[in-house]
Structures are given as structure tokens and as C-alpha cells.
Amino acid sequence: MIGDLIDGPLWYFSAAVFLLGVLWRVFEILRAGVARDLAPPRAGGSAGAVRALFSRFLPRRSLVKTGKLQLIAGYMFHLGLFALLFFAAPHVDFLEERVTGFGWTPLPHWAFIVASEVAFAGLLLLLLYRLMHPVTRLLSSADEYIGSVLVFVVMLTGCLALARSFEVLRLVHLFSAELLLVYFPFSNLMHAFTFVISRSYTGANMARKGVNA
């Protein structure tokens, strides 16, 4: 009974909240608008927007030394999570069945293990850093901790359910993922989408001034 609820209505509900919530947040951001820049530019902004969108995936050299723990942990977590989310065999099957209608080559089992270990280590390091460093401790609100814990729980239950031999574990994983989907649009996790907007604005504005941002 509960299983049917998690597998059916709750999944559709959480997916709908996620989709509509993300769209609403993007609308919330863009509706305020930005005044047209009247200063004659040195160059067009579009190329700068695209450049910043990609260049900010790499840190500035002068920051590599001082921010190395956050940077390394950040890469570990995000790359590991990306691999798990889109290339774990059960996810590929799930997405094919419920979302895309087509599948793709999943990660082999050993690669899944590596990706999950990397993602876990990254997430835990980031969480520890957030708790222990005076700067992140001062900046962080409940939002960051709730988001981190929810992602951790989803990843943990996902690993437990990997063998797909216990239906209960799969349902626990799906339920935690559904909670995450509902929480996502109203939290800082939205940065997974809004970074495209923020990087583009800055890249375009700075490019107009002749600066590669």
C-alpha cells in the first residue's frame, strides 16, 4: 500500500513540484528584469556569457592554493553525484521507463562503486568544512545543512538499494529522492540551475567592459 503510494502518486507529485517549482523560481528571478546597459561596450556580451558559463568550472589560479580543500571536495562531490545520477544502472532504467523513453550505457558496477565513494567523500568533506571553518559556519543557514543531509540520505539509501534485491530499500531510496525533489526548488539546491543565469549575467557584463570573467 505505502509502496504503491511511493511508486505512484507520490512520485508524480514530487516530480511535478520539482518541475513547476524550478520553473517558478526561474520566473521569479527573471521577472525583475535588468536595465539595458547604455554604456558603449568594448565587445558583445553573448560570447562573454558563454565563456563565463564554462570558465567558472575551473578555479582562478590564485585561489587554487588557499581554497584547495573546498575545490577538491567540490569537484569530488559534484562529479561523483553527476555520474551516479545519470549513469548508475538502476537510474538509467528508471529514467528510460518513466522519463525519457530511451536508455544509454550505464556505468559498470566497479565504476559505480568508485563514483559513489568519491561523491560520499566529497560531500562529507564539504559538510565537515562547513561545520568547522569559521567562514562557512558564519554563512551557513539551516538550508545548507538540510540540503546536504537530504542528498546524503538519498545517496546512502541508493547505495543500499543498489543490489535491487530488497524492494523495501528501493522504496526508501525513492521516497528520500521524492523528499529531495520537493525540497529542491525552494532551497539553495536551485544553484544547480541558476548558476547558468548568474554566470551568464556576470560574464556578459564583464565582457562588455573588455574583461574575461
Which residues form the interface with another protein (CB under 8 A)?
24-25, 28-35, 37-40, 42, 52-53, 56, 59-63, 66-67, 70-71, 74, 130, 133-141, 144, 186, 188, 190-191, 194-195, 197-203, 205-206, 209-213
Which residue's CB is nearer to another protein, number 91 or number 130? 130
Alpha carbon distance 103, 105 (integer Å): 7
Which residue's CB is nearer to another protein, number 95 or number 188? 188
> Minimum CB separation from another protein for residue 88, in Å?
24
Alpha carbon distance 132, 14 (integer Å): 33
Which residue's CB is nearer to another protein, number 20 or number 168? 20
> Minimum CB separation from another protein for residue 3, in Å?
31
CB 155 within 8 A of CB 81: yes
CB 193 within 8 A of CB 23: no
Q: Give, in order, the Cα–Cα distances in Å from 70 to each of 66, 118, 126, 167, 187.
A: 9, 14, 7, 37, 21
Which residue's CB is nearer to another protein, number 91 or number 209? 209
Residue 18's nearest CA partner among 7, 30, 10, 29 is 10
Which residue's CB is nearer to another protein, number 81 or number 161? 81
CB 72 within 8 A of CB 80: no
Size of the chain, expressed as the number of residues it contains: 213
Which residue's CB is nearer to another protein, number 52 or number 92? 52
Alpha carbon distance 103, 87 (integer Å): 10
> Minimum CB separation from another protein for residue 156, in Å?
21
The 10 Å Cβ neighbour count of residue 211 is 12
> Minimum CB separation from another protein for residue 17, in Å?
12
> Minimum CB separation from another protein for residue 147, in Å?
9
